[in-house]
Amino acid sequence: MADLSSLTAASTHIAEQHPTLKLLILFGSRARGDCDRNSDWDVAFLSAPDSENLSAWFSGADLLKTLSKQGHISSDSRSERLRQRIDLIDLSTCSDILAHFVAQEGQLIYERDPGEFERFRQRSLKAPAELKQFRQTQREKVLQALERWGA
């Protein structure tokens, strides 16, 4: 079974196959340590676009294959319940609130340049007041939707 250390050990091979990769971060239940055998793998990545060599830009599907192979995260064909899944998040396009939670609970798998993960964390972590405002806004949207639906 894969774990953070096996992903970290495989990170050099992953980076070799995806040269524009800047950051690879494990987050969610596996990073927090409250996972079970059916938990999925939540992995966030940041890559540097290469405008001169677009073929070096990798697709999420390619990265998923590499993570599965190098990190030894595979499906168990005997039972759908035991199938391990990787959820891959592109940090350049995800929401600010998702980036906050990746920065808050994430465990570093790979960083191309020393300090890249810490810079990401400093950019992405929200202050408590910002989180409170976000929750209030989301609550208001839910209440408005419920009102429209007559609930």
Name the catalytic one among 36, 40, 62, 76.
40
| DSSP secondary structure string for all residues of 91-149 | TTTS-HHHHHHHHHH-EEEEESSTTHHHHHHHHHPPPHHHHHHHHHHHHHHHHHHHHHT
Q: Would residue 40 show up in a list of annotated catalytic residues for this protein?
A: yes
Name the catalytic one among 3, 34, 36, 42.
42
CB of 26 closer than 8 Å to CB of 43:
yes
Q: Would residue 62 show up in a list of annotated catalytic residues for this protein?
A: no
Hey, which residues are catalytic here?
40, 42
